[in-house]
Amino acid sequence: MERRRKEFVEGRNHLNATVAALTESEQRLQQDVDELSNAKAVANDQVTDLQRQLDAATESYNVLHGEAAAHVADKTALRDNVESLQQLSEQLQAAHDAVEAQLTHSDSVCKALEVHFLS
């Protein structure tokens, strides 16, 4: 009987040690779960923040892209206006040259008439 009691006590002690070890292991696992939950919450907050930053950057890019397209259109329009003004300037220069030629011719005719009528 003493032997059975001793075996029982040893078995109980072994079970108590196993239960204590399992309880300690469960506590460590729960701490790990809590730490992982906290880390997940932090990561989720960071992802949310990064998504906001990405959305803001995308919006800025879209605005800048639109402005760039408008600037390109403005540049093209200005280039077209410059070319048009250059053509107009060339036409005005040609008209000016023609008027000067007519004035020179008229001056020659006037001088010839003056010489003819005054002589």
Token readout for 38 is 């906290």
- Over range 60-73, report the average pLDDT: 97
Q: What pLDDT band is residue 28 in, cutting at 50, 70 and 90?
A: very high
65 vs 56, 60, 69, 78, 81, CA distance in Å? 14, 8, 6, 20, 24
- Render pLDDT for 68-109 as a digit per residue (tens, 0 to 9): 999 999 999 999 999 999 999 999 999 999 999 999 999 999
In this predicted structure, the answer to whether residue 119 has a pLDDT above a threshold of 80 is no
Residue 65: how many CA atoms within 13 Å on its side-chain side?
A: 6
Query: What's the pTM value of the predicted model, to 2 decimals?
Result: 0.55
pLDDT for res 116: 85
- State the alpha helices, DSSP H only, in the chain: 2-118
Distance from C-alpha of 75 to C-alpha of 88, rounded to nearest angstrom: 20
Six token digits for residue 100: 């000067």
